[in-house]
Structure 1
């Protein structure tokens, strides 16, 4: 599936930030930051919904809270209460910005987690030998490398976010760190989408090769056993023939002589002459 069908309008963080800044410049100064944040949040919500068919409930909750502060700003003289040190931005609008930024952070976190799950699913569904068949092994190498890079960026963003605590609602740097992580993961997701057909072809080729090798091994196994039984049967038949025709008469003659000599020796020890006894056939 092509990038355009996945609503991938922005391929880099810089492209998205530039578009968001351009949009925010069109509104009143009091609403510029909230418009900037909402543009980013709305973009990732749209992409997420197109891929997975849902909008995370926590994002809706942040939107609802932001809307609540907006109407508080519009009523009850709340617009006269400022919330920043410069006294330029009304308090309720500042709180609204915090909820919209949290919505943006939440949807980017969810994006990262879902893409991690997608990579894990690919690794579970396809053996490493199959993944290495795609693009002569380059796909598998890049998948491992880019996954590690994206996870590293995501980990740094989460650590920075946790250190900030509640102040992350108004911190621009934490937004940039999550943007870096989510675009790294988005590259991975797009690559998985574009390589879906190649993965299926590689898997079918691998299974075909494996099945043919297994069948060949089974045939070889049966051939070896069949050949062994044939030669073993011939050998037993040959030994039986040799015994009956040549070995058995010789054995009987030797055994008869040994028994006779032993018998005469015993009689001699008893003082009995063998001449007094009739001849005995020991065969």
Structure 2
């Protein structure tokens, strides 16, 4: 829905502002339509649209915990850096973060941190309504410049539509390629199960030698015997009944008196 809003916003911003913020409640769209729709419609549509994905993201973190955080961190290097920063801040400022910036990262981290769903919902609703109030005030204060911008958009609607649709199409193609990788990552996340931790396979350098006096694995002794047999088979010696190169066929030299 966000892509539709980004593609057709030059046509929707003044002709169907309610539909525009229903498709995408970006700050720039909220500012442009703040003074052009009824107050109840602005707050109702804006609140529902802003909070719609948050419960699902919170549930993702709640049920999958560290695995969900790893999935978000591995999407892109930029996302990984943002996630690690938000995780550090959430330890000390978890409640204010949910109120001020309840974005995708904060919602997933709040769920993974085990925040109460009721507390999360209250903080999220409070922050969302507060955000809409601030944007509404900004729209009223700058109503003159906003009217000028909307007039300019109306004059150049067709070129702006062509540009916005082209940009969205290019972005959608790139998103589709990245989406295939993320789908594979989600399948892996589901296979790991809720709360799964990554398992690191021990390397040969990390292997510790057995302590003195410990019992040797019989399978390891079998592999050692097989190595000796192979070495004997390739060595020199006089062929005998036991086969070429066996220890019994090697000349041991004269016997001592």
Normalising by structure 2, report the TM-score. Answer: 0.32
Normalising by structure 1, report the TM-score. Answer: 0.30
More helix as a share of residues = 1
Q: Which has the larger radius of gyration?
A: 1
Higher RCO (C-alpha under 8 Å, 6+ residues apart): 2
